[in-house]
């Protein structure tokens, strides 16, 4: 039996080329996530419950990448996380939050805390604008039983705009009237949207961010392949999600292929990423099922034990090399999921044919990852767990298995607290840009013209710092 050799990132290096790139700032890191979604940077945060909820997704999108909200919660919770990202910044909020004029100050405070919103349009039926209630209206009122009707700004005193108002006209109205929020209404004074000064400023100051056509931040969310996955997909679509990611360890399966077909039939405009796979045939079958992106990686993650548990998997560099020709032939972007330990691995993944890289472990200890930092022996940590670990499997909303029926394919671990995710992203992008300059690659696709060489264990040791006493 012929047994081919398969390679991981540590088994290879890229050969430097003559470069006419004068500065690493001259390179372009834009790329495609799916057929119709572009990103400014090739980084995607993993759909793990210790990695991506709204804070991580917002941070990634602001830097030019995208976060994928995990599905280890009920449908309403996941949809709420998506809405929080989509509402973080808008040119026009198409469905602004409303509250009844008969509600009390106490109810306002409760709703404000629940939705993370400090002001509401006032409407008894969600359509007719009666007024607006802001933090400025309630700051000097201490009686929680006070009716909002008594303290709100009534519609007679409101400054409003038409639905087709331009951004510059809206900004002029806001500034001339020294207000922060401009309700948009029709001729019947029915609510059609909301523009805020804060959102206008955010959009003008962060051209690097990943945004949709309405200026909202991009966000993805995960769905399974059994149970309520279609109901979940519909709810996430209604919440404004930009892309759905199939969350299944073995994506080259009949369950996954059938789920993709059903989702695409029900939601033909929705971008869908399928996976995880590690072979060319797996990619071809996913593409024929209708995916808009292919996720590659069986077992390379830092807290994944699939290969040790099942004996199956393909080292990540070879997996990308297997799949990339198929993805390139059909114009379907490739997401390399897992195995990234340092920025060099990011460069190698992209040079091998990936369009983006999904990271979990390297982002799990950051400020924006879910969970509180814990102290252990004088150092701060956060908890990270694989989505096929025992605790994760038991916490699935649709889990029906008992403890003894689960065979884990991941672990739960402490990871060092790393601070703001922006700092982690900056380190990886710095390494990527430097790597591109070594390969004379002005774009990510140019990296694919670089040559790989295999190295020995001695070469691996030589690549790291050596013969020194580390300070």
Q: In terms of CATH architecture, what is 9-89+208-463?
A: Alpha-Beta Barrel (3.20)
Start and end residues for every CATH 3.10.580.10 domain found in the chain: 98-196
Q: What is the pLDDT, as a whole number, of residue 339?
A: 93
Give the pLDDT band of residue 397 (cuts 50, 70, 90): low
Give the pLDDT band of residue 202 (cuts 50, 70, 90): confident
Mean pLDDT check: name the lowest of 84-88, 314-318, 331-335. Answer: 84-88
116 φψ region: left (φ > 0), alpha (ψ -120 to 50), beta (else): left
Active site residue 450: no
CATH classification of 98-196 is 3.90.550.10, yes or no?
no
Inter-axis angle of helices 75-86 and 229-239, to 10 degrees? 20
Beta pairing, strands 131-133 & 120-122: antiparallel
| CA distance linking residue 93 with residue 307, whole number of Å | 46
| CA distance linking residue 136 with residue 17, whole number of Å | 60
Q: What is the pLDDT, as a whole number, of residue 168?
A: 82
Percent of the chain at pLDDT > 90 equals: 58
| CA distance linking residue 219 with residue 356, whole number of Å | 15
Q: What is the pLDDT, as a whole number, of residue 407?
A: 59
Q: What is the DSSP letter of 287?
A: H
Tens-place pLDDT, residues 90-138: 778 888 899 998 889 888 988 888 888 888 999 988 888 988 998 888 8
User: Would you say 301 and 384 are in contact if contact means Cβ atoms under 8 Å apart?
Assistant: no
Please identify which of the residues 73, 117, 141, 304 carries the catalytic annotation. Answer: 304
Of residues 47 and 158, more confidently modeled: 47
The arithmetic mean of pLDDT across residues 308-336, rounded, is: 96
pTM higher than 0.85 = no
Start and end residues for every CATH 3.20.20.70 domain found in the chain: 9-89+208-463
């Amino acid at each position: 039996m012929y047994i081919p050799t398969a390679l991981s990132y540590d088994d290879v290096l890229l050969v430097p080329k003559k470069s006419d790139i004068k500065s690493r700032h001259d390179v372009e890191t834009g790329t495609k996530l799916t057929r119709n979604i572009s990103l400014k940077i090739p980084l995607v945060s993993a759909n793990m419950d210790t990695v991506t909820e709204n804070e991580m997704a917002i941070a990634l999108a602001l830097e030019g990448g995208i976060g994928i909200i995990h599905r280890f919660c009920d449908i309403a919770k996941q949809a709420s996380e998506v809405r929080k990202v989509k509402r973080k910044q808008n040119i026009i909020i198409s469905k602004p939050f409303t509250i009844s004029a008969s509600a009390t100050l106490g109810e306002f405070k409760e709703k404000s805390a629940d939705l993370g919103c400090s002001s509401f349009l006032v409407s008894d039926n969600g359509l007719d604008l009666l007024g607006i209630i802001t933090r400025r209206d309630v700051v000097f009122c201490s009686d929680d039983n006070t009716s909002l009707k008594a303290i709100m700004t009534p519609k007679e005193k409101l400054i409003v705009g038409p639905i087709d108002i331009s951004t510059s006209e809206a900004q002029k109205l806001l500034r001339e009237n020294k207000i922060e929020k401009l309700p948009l209404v029709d001729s019947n004074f029915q609510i059609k949207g909301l523009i805020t000064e804060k959102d206008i400023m955010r959009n003008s100051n962060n051209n690097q961010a990943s945004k949709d056509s309405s200026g909202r931040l991009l966000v993805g969310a995960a769905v399974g392949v059994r149970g309520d996955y279609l109901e979940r997909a519909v709810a996430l679509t209604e919440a404004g999600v930009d892309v759905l990611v199939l969350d299944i360890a073995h994506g080259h399966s009949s369950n996954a292929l059938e789920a993709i077909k059903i989702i695409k039939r029900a939601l033909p405009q929705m971008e869908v990423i399928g996976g995880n796979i590690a072979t060319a045939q797996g990619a071809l079958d996913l593409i024929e099922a209708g995916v808009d992106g292919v996720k590659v990686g069986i077992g390379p993650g830092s807290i994944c034990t699939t290969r040790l548990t099942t004996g199956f998997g393909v080292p990540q560099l070879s997996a990308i090399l297997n799949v990339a020709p198929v993805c390139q032939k059909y114009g379907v972007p490739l997401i390399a999921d897992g195995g990234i330990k340092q920025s060099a691995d990011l460069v190698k993944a992209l040079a091998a044919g990936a369009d983006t890289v999904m990271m979990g472990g390297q982002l799990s200890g950051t400020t924006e990852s879910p969970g509180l930092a814990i102290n252990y022996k004088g150092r701060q940590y956060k908890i990270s767990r694989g989505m096929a670990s025992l605790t994760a499997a038991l916490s699935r909303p649709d889990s029906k298995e008992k403890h003894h029926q689960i065979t884990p394919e991941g672990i739960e671990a402490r990871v060092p607290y790393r601070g703001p995710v922006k700092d982690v992203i900056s380190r990886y992008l710095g390494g990527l840009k430097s790597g591109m300059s070594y390969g004379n690659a002005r774009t990510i696709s140019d990296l694919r013209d670089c040559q790989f060489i295999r190295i020995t264990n001695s070469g691996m040791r030589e690549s790291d710092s050596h013969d020194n006493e580390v300070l």
